[in-house]
Amino acid sequence: MTLLDGKKTSEAIQQEIAAEVAEIKASGGKVPHLAAILVGNDGGSVTYVNNKVLACERIGFGSTLIRYEDTISEEELLIKIKELNLNDEIDGFIVQLPLPKHIDTEKVLEAVDPQKDVDGFHPINVGRMVAGLPAYLPATPAGILQLLERYQIETRGKHCVVIGRSNIVGSPMSILMSKCAYPGDATVTLCHRNTVDLPHYTRQADIIIAAVGKPGLITADMVKEGAVVIDVGTTRVPDATKKSGYKLKGDVDFDAVAPKCSFITPVPGGVGPLTIAMLMKNTLRAAKSEVYA
Ligand code: NAP
């Protein structure tokens, strides 16, 4: 069994980006600049956004963090987005989700200029991804593709079972794995809450990608010998021994499942660290006008 080391892979990707930024700087080019809008004070969201800003600093990007109280109106937020769309200094920006209930998330995501949509959530980028056109890919599925590629895992003709159909992970993952490309070219089954007899599908899987958020959902009897298991799940469960008071658990019963696998991601340290690296990669692509040339 090989452990898929997301931390190491993420560091390698960020070093590659940092080297490219140093070259851009040396040749007098424009330094990539990422902006992030954070609404409210949700602990998880604050941590995620701060980590994104820190990553920018580490690799040499410019960054701007724009914070609002959760009482901000939808209109005010849309005005800020329009402003960022027109600001030539900003190459890409993200609106950290979730947004407060009084704000229409779809409307906000659609207001972002697709050319600056480095989260890859705008319907135009989603559509371009489905059509196989150059697009900003959502960071988590893109990170999983990087893991598969960098560990040279065979995907062609394999049966890939994706569990979860969210717009940010499961659904794009299933589409990307079905594309005639590497990594991809797999036969894909997409499972969800209403799938009847989930183990029936997972037992046939050469590659399982679990993106649910239910610790321990995937047990050893659901996995065939030699399978590749990618665990996207990150659920906070109380843990009095930790300073934070919680620990992160994946969807996979790691201790029981790992001995059966050819490759498996740990939680934490698997898929998680790649998400930021891929956001940085999208920002670099935006600065280089690579997607919308
Ligand atoms: P989500 O929007 O809540 O989607 C969860 C999906 O799981 C839904 O499609 C749901 O089905 C399905 N589901 C729920 N219970 C199920 C069951 N018993 N059997 C099969 N499918 C079931 O979550 P998400 O945003 O995709 O995130 C999923 C997990 O990944 C979470 O733990 C999240 O924290 C984690 N995550 C990690 C990263 C990272 O590491 N960087 C990034 C994003 C998300 P329905 O559609 O029928 O409701």
**Residue 160 is part of a domain; what is its CATH number?**
3.40.50.720
Give the closest residue (by CA) to ligand 1 atom 30: 233
Quote the CA–CA distance of 153 and 145 in Å, as a whole number.
10
* Same-domain check for residues 95 and 152: no
pTM of the model: 0.97
Q: For the chain, count helices (H), then strands (E).
A: 10, 11
CA of 26 to the centre of ligand 1 (A): 43
* Same-domain check for residues 160 and 244: yes
Residue type, 244: S
**291 within domain boundaries:** no
Last residue of a domain, one of 62, 96, 113: 113
* Same-domain check for residues 101 and 205: no
User: Vertex 239, ends 234 and 241: CA angle to 5°?
Assistant: 130
Containing domain of residue 83, as a range? 27-113
At 204 the pLDDT is 98
Q: Specify whether the CB–CB gap between 90 and 64 falls below 8 A.
A: yes
* Same-domain check for residues 169 and 90: no
Q: Is 88 noted as a catalytic residue in this protein?
A: no
CA of 252 to the centre of ligand 1 (A): 13
**284 within domain boundaries:** no
* Same-domain check for residues 66 and 150: no
User: Vertex 193, ends 187 and 195: CA angle to 5°?
Assistant: 50
* Same-domain check for residues 144 and 260: yes
CA of 264 to the centre of ligand 1 (A): 18
* Same-domain check for residues 93 and 183: no
Could you count the other beta carbons within 10 Å of the beta carbon of residue 156? 11
* Same-domain check for residues 93 and 202: no
Q: pLDDT tens across 252-279, in order?
A: 999 999 999 999 999 999 999 999 999 9
Q: What is the DSSP letter of 76?
A: H
**126 within domain boundaries:** no
> What are 144's two structure tokens?
């999983």
* 142 Cβ inside 6 Å of ligand 1: no
* 51 Cβ inside 6 Å of ligand 1: no
The partner residues of 33 in beta bridges, in order of sequence, read: 62
Q: Is 119 noted as a catalytic residue in this protein?
A: yes
All residue ranges of the chain with pLDDT < 50 are none
The partner residues of 160 in beta bridges, in order of sequence, read: 188, 207
Quote the CA–CA distance of 7 and 197 in Å, as a whole number.
34
Q: Is 256 exposed, middle or buried (0-12, 13-18, 19+ CB in 10 A)?
A: middle
Q: What is the CATH number of the domain that holds 33?
A: 3.40.50.10860
E-strand stretches of the chain: 2-3, 33-39, 62-68, 92-95, 159-163, 187-191, 207-210, 227-231, 235-238, 246-249, 261-264
Residue type, 11: E
* Same-domain check for residues 181 and 107: no
Q: Specify whether the CB–CB gap between 161 and 209 falls below 8 A.
A: yes
- Residue partners of 175: CB distance under 8 A and separation at least 6: 129, 130
**62 within domain boundaries:** yes
Stated as kind and residue range, the H or E segment containing 203 is none
**152 within domain boundaries:** yes
Last residue of a domain, one of 113, 128, 157: 113
* 82 Cβ inside 6 Å of ligand 1: no
* Same-domain check for residues 196 and 157: yes
Domain count, the chain: 2
User: What is the CA 230 to chain-centroid distance, rounded?
Assistant: 13
**121 within domain boundaries:** no
**130 within domain boundaries:** no
> What are 268's two structure tokens?
């934490």
At 138 the pLDDT is 98
Q: Specify whether the CB–CB gap between 250 and 234 falls below 8 A.
A: yes
* Same-domain check for residues 89 and 214: no
At 189 the pLDDT is 99
* Same-domain check for residues 91 and 172: no
At 293 the pLDDT is 84
Q: Is 52 noted as a catalytic residue in this protein?
A: yes
- Residue partners of 258: CB distance under 8 A and separation at least 6: 1, 264
- Residue partners of 255: CB distance under 8 A and separation at least 6: none
**196 within domain boundaries:** yes
